[in-house]
A and B are shown apart, each in its own frame.
Chain A
Amino acid sequence: MPEITRAQRALFDEQGHIVVGSLVPPEQVARLRHAFEEQAAAWAAEIDTPLDDYLSVVSQWTNVWEHNAVFRAQMFHQRAAAVAAELIGCERVRVFHDHLIVKPPHGGDTIPWHRDLPNWPVAEPRAVSCWLALDDVTAEAGAMRFMPGGHKEPMTRSIDFLNEAKTWGPRENDAVAVPVPAGSAIFHHCLSWHTSPPNATAGWRRAYITIYMDAACTFDAARAGWHPMSGRVTVPPGAVFNEDAFPTLGPDLPAAALARALGGAA
């Protein structure tokens, strides 16, 4: 049975993103928030830094699933993977990586307009991100903004956030903010143009993102100048990614991936 409707599918094809409501029930959202709080305290202690100082600086974590069983279970969320597979148009998906992105109360920076794929060592544009809100994310709290249809435009090079800023001119008016309640998720294409403003509210703005790609996607060492996952790739350019660091999900989950999903050895 399909996980998304034909209308959602058409909307995704047209604008490059859709919202899937209530992907995760409130009790799981609460578990994920609690897991983040515990994990952040552990990470701060690991580098001998007071938690407040730590969270005033560090706002993104990659491969959270390797550190935390709650996030590990979430990364293997069957419905999220199924939605991703339907949007990509493949039977099985592979996790490129997960990451946790937070904007503290009245904090966080603007993430400039960008597309994801030019920054990834992935050859094919067959990937989607599942952006799961762990808090109610309003426009004021730093909701994601998209340029509808931008994913259909030609490939571009990566943008250096420290030195460049993509501008749209009058087309900026076409950009849309996509607020989502906690537990809902935005699925967006790897070539979607997106940005997000700082969090102007008194609450946290936390999101857990899992990047799914077609399991047949291949390693392109030349595409990205640097990426945190490049060091985990053990296959040659042109080959599909190694299973240990880039696990597959699908109807016939490998035993090792199932073990990881259930909290076993990473």
Chain B
Amino acid sequence: MNRIQMYASSTHLKHGLHRALAVAHALTSPVEPGESVAWWSLLDADEQERGRLHALPLDTLARIYCRDAVRAVLDAGRVAVGLPALDHEAVQTAFKVAIISGKAHRAHMGRDVYGSSNKGLWDLVCGDFGRAVADHYGPTLGDDPVPLAESIPSDAALDALRTLTAFDTSPHGDGHDACVEWLASRLAGLGFTVEALGHDRGRPLVVAHREARGLDGHVVLYGHYDVTPFGRERKWTHPPRELTVADGRLLARGVADNKGPLACRLAALAALESAPALTWLIQGEEETGSAVAHALLPEVMRDLRPTLWLDETGYHDHEDGTLRLLGRTMGQEDASLPPDPPLTDLLRALRGLASRWGIAARHERRGLNKDVVEGGCPFNHALPEGARYLAIGVNDSGARIHGLNESLPGWTFPLHAAELDVIFRWVGRTAGGAS
């Protein structure tokens, strides 16, 4: 949706037509807890799988773009970003021209003038819409589809995770201090000022802060560097004390809870040029009662009023990758209220982003399950009334947290890096007061 180039105009046009419909649907369909939401539900049953993969041919897309329900979604999406409705007759004429050009090329190497037919249709459907979406949410949302097989963690993320999992930060481990030192060093390298609080009380709480880099607003991230015991190590299929990459998954104790999300975010931050102000709270006793965090976080968080509070991770359904979007506005005494309008806008953008990976989204209005364990999560407990809370990240429901063969899917890493980009731009826009 964001680009069309001469030598790839057919591919870019097809991607753009899929993206325009996917993004328009994401920006306009309801944000209510319940069934999963997928843009390809707009399509006939025999079109849905290819639609999900952005692989429908142009003549099929032409028929789809004729349907009233589809036209309504496209127009609503345009209105949502301040554009007028499409001229659907002009769109159909442009489809006809682009289809003739494509057929001629395939049949006998005939063509128009270097993709001009494709560009004509692209201009109508994708051009101004893609620019408006990019202005609102950044270019990531409208970019090309990402095949899951090509969605793999960056070398930087894998290196960080390999290092993190090598520290024994289980309850009786000896790697906590070294892990804190390493985290502090990495965060300082990213421009954070770092403090480690509560040495005298237990495993220290890392409090890191970085000033804004080109974007308004403030995000508070939460995480933890301790892990649960290794359990019966001989029962693991892979060594639990070192990272293994196998069959698209990352295995070691703590990869899912919470070292994988930490590594992913560290690598993503290093690659992002712009970010709002960031505060990162990383505790070391989440698996053993969070004594230090319970004692210190209320004070640390008392005066923070960020645009968004971002929890340690989030989940996908392991069967089909469906993104669980846990977003809420905090009420009194930890009550979960519906997301306020700006947060609703972010949730819509995030499910639009997920459609690049061919996955649906499901909205839930709660915190992660740690909320309901005895003592609760010190981070979630200290969230102020009115806080915008989001749990999103790299985990899936097959992660076996605390169990044998704890693991993470690798494909979620690039998605979460892209999510951070969308989140940060949304924060900048929301805090900056833009509509």
Contacts and interface: CB of A to CB of B under 8 A. Distances in A.
Interface string B237-263: 000000000000000000000000000
B111 A160 contact: no
B119 A63 contact: no
B215 to A, nearest CB: 28
Given A46-B108, A59-B112, A61-B108, A54 B5 contact: no
Nearest to B112: A57
Contacts of B115: 161-162
Contacts of A161: 6, 113-116
Secondary structure type dominating chain A contacts? loop
Contact of A162 (B4, B100, B101): B4
B237 to A, nearest CB: 43
B166 interface: no
A225 B7 contact: yes
B122 to A, nearest CB: 9
A60 interface: yes
Contact of A226 (B4, B7, B97, B101): B7
Contact of B103 (A47, A59, A228): A47
A57 B102 CA distance: 10
Interface in A211-256: 224-226, 228
A62 interface: yes
B373 interface: no
Nearest to A39: B108
A63 B112 contact: no
Interface residues of B, number: 24
Nearest to B111: A60
A43 B100 contact: no
Contacts of B5: 160, 162-163
B8 A226 contact: yes
B104 interface: yes
Contacts of A43: 104, 107-108, 110
B109 A61 contact: yes
B112 A60 contact: yes
Given A162-B115, A162-B119, A163-B5, A58 B109 contact: no
A43 to B, nearest CB: 5
A50 to B, nearest CB: 10
Interface string A41-53: 0010011010001
Contacts of B107: 43, 46-47
A162 B110 contact: no
Contacts of A160: 5-7
Interface in B90-132: 96-97, 100-101, 103-104, 107-117, 119
B381 to A, nearest CB: 52
A54 B103 CA distance: 10
Contacts, number: 74
A109 interface: yes
Contacts of B4: 162-163
Nearest to A54: B100
Contacts of B101: 57-58
B9 interface: yes
Name, among B5, B9, B109, the residue most crowded by chain A CB atoms within 10 Å (CB to CB). B109
A46 B113 CA distance: 20
A60 B6 contact: no
Nearest to A67: B108
B319 to A, nearest CB: 38
A54 B116 CA distance: 15
A207 to B, nearest CB: 14
B114 A162 contact: yes
Contacts of A49: 100, 103
Interface size on A, as a range, is 20 to 34
Interface string B402-419: 000000000000000000
Contact of A53 (B6, B100, B108, B111): B100
B184 to A, nearest CB: 45
A131 B84 CA distance: 46
A60 B115 CA distance: 11
Nearest to B101: A57
Interface in B1-45: 4-9
Contact of A228 (B100, B109, B113): B109
Nearest to B118: A162
A206 to B, nearest CB: 14
Given A47-B100, A54-B104, A60 B7 contact: no
B100 A57 contact: yes
B104 A47 contact: yes
A10 interface: no
A111 interface: yes
A224 to B, nearest CB: 8
A62 B6 CA distance: 17
A205 to B, nearest CB: 13
A58 B104 CA distance: 7
A57 B4 CA distance: 19
Contacts of A224: 7
A47 B107 CA distance: 7
Contacts of A63: 109
B9 A57 contact: no
A60 B119 contact: no
Name, among A60, A163, A226, the residue most crowded by chain B CB atoms within 10 Å (CB to CB). A60
B169 to A, nearest CB: 48
Given A47-B100, A47-B103, A49-B103, A58 B9 contact: no
A57 B6 CA distance: 16
B112 A58 contact: yes
Name, among B9, B109, B110, the residue most crowded by chain A CB atoms within 10 Å (CB to CB). B110
A58 B7 contact: no
A47 B109 CA distance: 12
Nearest to A161: B114
5 contacts: A47-B107, A49-B100, A53-B96, A61-B110, A162-B9
Q: Which 5 A-B pairs have the closest CB atoms?
A: A226-B7, A47-B103, A62-B109, A58-B110, A109-B113
Given A58-B110, A61-B108, A111-B114, 19 more contacts: A43-B108, A43-B110, A46-B107, A46-B108, A47-B100, A47-B103, A54-B104, A57-B101, A57-B112, A58-B104, A58-B112, A59-B111, A59-B113, A60-B113, A67-B108, A160-B5, A161-B6, A161-B113, A162-B6
